[in-house]
Structure 1
Amino acid sequence: MGRKVFVIGVGMTKFEKPGRRENFDYPDMAKEAGLKALADAGISYNQVEQAAVGYCYGDSTCGQRALYQLGMTGIPVYNVNNNCSTGSTALFMAKQFIEGGLAECTMALGFEKMERGSLKGHWMDRTSPMHFHQAVMKQIGVAHKAPNTPSMFGNAGLEHMKKYGTKPEHFAKIGWKNHKHSVNNPYSQFQKEYSFDQVLNGRKIYDYLTLLQCCPTSDGSGCAILASEDFVRKHGLEHQAVEIVAQVMATDLPSTLSEKSSIKVVGYDMTRKAVEKIYEKTGLRPSDAQVIELHDCFSANELITYEALGLCGVGKAGEFIDRGDNTYGGKYVINPSGGLISKGHPLGATGLAQCSELTWQLRGEAAKRQVEGAKLALQHNLGLGGAVVVTMYKLGFPQARKEWMKKGMLLL
């Protein structure tokens, strides 16, 4: 077993529609998120020993350019690109440096400056990394003239409907729920509540998937500062330290392609694999968590991920949704931030925004969206092609947090 690793500081920008905010290039985003995280941790950049920086759309060494404005300290800077799971991959790497004894304090930073509209490839003179996945979709016979990503996740939802009787209303309920949650998130790209009818009957993007069930492209950045237990105690940060109890990264398995299933093509089995490994290591299951941030790039992916994580039985996601077990008052609160659908999805930043939200939730700092009694938090961040990172968090020193809160109340 490696050393314990703690999140001691987080920060993020408000996620924005691409181009909406002036003077918001990736260095500006990164500086804002980085400074917020350092301030939250109460440390200086000079104390950071290694940094992992995630982004998908940018030239080489954007990570260095982003960090140099925080300081030019000569530390190793690793640039990470892992599709939509890029931010969590940077977090995974930064954690391993501490876990393996290579550093006492590290930074994971993610950002994205995106183009408007659906995601598309930029290199047409070479093999697509999605070549195998797209070939399977053609073999299944459900390839359509629609943007590639909504088609792939949309097909997974169609398969679920065919196998288990799920209805378009179930997917719409997810979009409606996430937009409702984001009303209370000042960092969210959308902060407007929509009616269920608006979500269900809005402009179609792919078959049953409407616009309000699909994540938008976004500009934004997120950052997390990680530290060892020795660092936490030395700097008196026990009251705010959130422990990464478990974290597993998994990639595609043979079944992703061999079983000719749209659900499998979009990462169901690698999520299940990550969950199994976490259980082997810790005895914990996602169902033990009270608050969850999961990868809802489309409502279809949130629905099938309920089952992949074991939050409900296979084929039971529709019943799970109808019971309200995915929102306040139910068994779990899933995507209190608004998720990707409403908060936005700047690819490199998403995983670190999820980490920020769960850190605030466990500290009791999430204001109107606070999940009462949240003691264990779960994060799920997925990228096609593929990689998934599943992470579980809890307060590192609950008694220190309680005493610090009590002291703060007395000072008031």
Structure 2
Amino acid sequence: MQKVRSVIPQRTNSRKMTKTRVYVIGVGMTKFEKPGRRADVCYPDFAKEAITKALQDAGIKFEEVQQAVAGYVYGDSTCGQRALYEVGMTGIPVYNVNNNCSTGSSALYLAKQIVEGGNSDCVLALGFEKMERGSLSSKYFDRANPMERHITEMGELTEIGAGPMAAQIFGNAGKEHMKKYGTKPEHFGKIAWKNHKHSVNNPYSQFRDEYTLEQIMKSPQVVEGVLTKLQCCPTSDGSGAAILASEAFVRRHGLEKQAVEIVGMEMASDPASTFADKSLMKIAGTDMTRLATQRLFAKSGYKPQDVQVVELHDCFSANELVTYEALGLCGEGKAGEFIDAGDNTYGGKFVVNPSGGLISKGHPLGATGLAQCAELCWQLRGLAEKRQVPNAQLALQHNLGLGGAVVVALYRLGFPGANKAKL
């Protein structure tokens, strides 16, 4: 009996020390498009296309997927099941996730945890959205709004106007940065100019038009003095999917050449400083991003300067600007210099949003995080064609939802010696 007792703790401790590595083995997405552009297409159609592409990319059948996490913001309960049933009805567990604009990466985060915990070898993360045209708005008026405290706190610091609330939240963050650090309206315009330019090479992008900086600055004002229409992301319809697997699954199926390892992934909600510090930037989520980022780099052993390519949440150009500093891509108050030096695009220190970002690619809320994952996997596998970032070895993802939730992640090739571009 004494020997048995001494063995049990050793096994438990050994199990705690073992961490399952998680890989993205297949990705797929639809072209993002204007809401309602095709009257005969609905969210199950978008989801089916994204899932089918991810399965084809991985070279596996749907029957090998053991669990699924589906993310969407606008829809009834169990929309995830309705979408998945278009591909197969295998009786697997399906979890439905809604975490505002970070919904897609929240689904990815949960899928990773399932694999990492050893509960399944192969898990699907799915995101989709069928949206209404125009700016986002509340749907329920007989209960507490999850953003009411953010808006109340913002109202104590600045005047609330008549424009779209999300644009005001991020626009006011940009104004605070201008006041505090001397940032100019042109800096926000240059971000939009860059992202529109990048999108020209992305066939999945909703908008693929290139604009001059003057055109961007002279487009209609959305938040006076800081945001114009061409600096704001559109609402979109679309879907994205990623298939995650354990190392055992990867090796069993011979997928080492394309497996992209999720080096680390962190999620955070609003810390107390979001409201306590009386900052418009923090109300817009900068401290939430900073907290998750610090955890990510501390645990992974990497630092921001090790990254080559970034997909970050540019719902508005002002958010991309303040996020540079929160992610550690540049020093506090240095975002303007970072932009002027061209360190956010090809030839600079990082290439940020080679896909065109939300501003050009579009923003179907549930799909955005999965589309970011897809783009970064393509970049690391050398499959991004004209938008390929040279020597991309470490990729950073940032997906933000007000209210609040943020997900940041690092990716690298899982088996770099085995990798070969998949044509």
Instruction: State the TM-score, normalizing by the size of structure 1.
Output: 0.97
Which segments of structure 1 move beyond 3 Å, counting only runs of 4 or more? none
Q: Which of 28, 38, 52 does residue 35 from structure 1 map onto?
A: 52
Which amino acid in 1 is paired with 2:23?
F
- Counterpart check, 1:252 vs 2:292: no
Determine the C-alpha separation between the residues in 2 that align with 1:367 and 1:141: 45
Which amino acid in 2 is paired with 1:261?
S
Matches within 5 A, 1:100-249: 100-207=117-224, 208-249=226-267
Q: Secondary structure at the match of 1:345?
A: coil
Determine the C-alpha separation between the residues in 1 that align with 2:188 and 2:75: 33
Which amino acid in 2 is paired with 1:163?
K
Determine the C-alpha separation between the residues in 2 that align with 1:154 and 1:105: 41
Which amino acid in 1 is paired with 2:208?
Q
Does the CA contact (< 8 Å) of 1:142 and 1:155 recur in 2?
no
Give, in angstroms, the shift of residue 347 of structure 1.
Answer: 0.1
- Counterpart check, 1:292 vs 2:310: yes
**Residues 269-299 of structure 1: CA distance to partner in whole angstroms, max 9, x if unpaired?**
1111111111221111233110000000000
Which amino acid in 2 is paired with 1:183?
V
Q: Which moved more, 1:47-56 or 1:20-29?
A: 20-29
Give, in angstroms, the shift of residue 375 of structure 1.
Answer: 0.2
Give, in angstroms, the shift of residue 143 of structure 1.
Answer: 1.7
Determine the C-alpha separation between the residues in 2 that align with 1:138 and 1:2: 45
Q: Secondary structure at the match of 2:367?
A: helix
Determine the C-alpha separation between the residues in 2 that align with 1:150 and 1:341: 13
Q: Secondary structure at the match of 1:243?
A: strand
Q: Secondary structure at the match of 1:281?
A: helix
- Counterpart check, 1:67 vs 2:84: yes
Does the CA contact (< 8 Å) of 1:323 and 1:330 recur in 2?
yes
Does the CA contact (< 8 Å) of 1:275 and 1:286 recur in 2?
no
Per the alignment, residue 359 of structure 2 pairs with 341
Determine the C-alpha separation between the residues in 2 that align with 1:22 and 1:36: 23
- Counterpart check, 1:320 vs 2:338: yes
Which amino acid in 1 is paired with 2:73?
C
**Residues 203-262 of structure 1: CA distance to partner in whole angstroms, max 9, x if unpaired?**
111112001100000000000000000000000000000000010000000000111110
Determine the C-alpha separation between the residues in 2 that align with 1:121 and 1:71: 34
- Counterpart check, 1:273 vs 2:291: yes
Q: Secondary structure at the match of 1:7?
A: strand
Per the alignment, residue 51 of structure 1 pairs with 68
Instruction: Give unpaired runs (5+ residues) of structure 2.
Output: 1-17
Q: Secondary structure at the match of 1:79?
A: strand
**Residues 304-338 of structure 1: CA distance to partner in whole angstroms, max 9, x if unpaired?**
00000010010000000000000001110000000
Determine the C-alpha separation between the residues in 2 that align with 1:393 and 1:142: 41
Give, in angstroms, the shift of residue 192 of structure 1.
Answer: 0.7
Does the CA contact (< 8 Å) of 1:271 and 1:388 recur in 2?
yes
Q: Secondary structure at the match of 1:314?
A: coil
- Counterpart check, 1:302 vs 2:320: yes
Determine the C-alpha separation between the residues in 2 that align with 1:24 and 1:276: 41
Instruction: State the TM-score, normalizing by the size of structure 2.
Output: 0.95
Determine the C-alpha separation between the residues in 1 that align with 2:305 and 2:232: 25
Give, in angstroms, the shift of residue 139 of structure 1.
Answer: 1.0
Does the CA contact (< 8 Å) of 1:180 and 1:338 recur in 2?
yes
Which amino acid in 2 is paired with 1:147?
P
Instruction: Give unpaired runs (5+ residues) of structure 1.
Output: none
Give, in angstroms, the shift of residue 153 of structure 1.
Answer: 0.2
Matches within 5 A, 1:19-34: 19-34=36-51
Determine the C-alpha separation between the residues in 2 that align with 1:373 and 1:210: 34
Which amino acid in 2 is paired with 1:349?
A
Determine the C-alpha separation between the residues in 1 that align with 2:330 and 2:153: 27
Aligned residue pairs: how many?
405
- Counterpart check, 1:79 vs 2:88: no
Per the alignment, residue 97 of structure 1 pairs with 114
Q: Which moved more, 1:134-143 or 1:210-219?
A: 134-143
Q: Secondary structure at the match of 1:398?
A: coil
**Residues 344-387 of structure 1: CA distance to partner in whole angstroms, max 9, x if unpaired?**
00000000000000000000000000001000000000000000
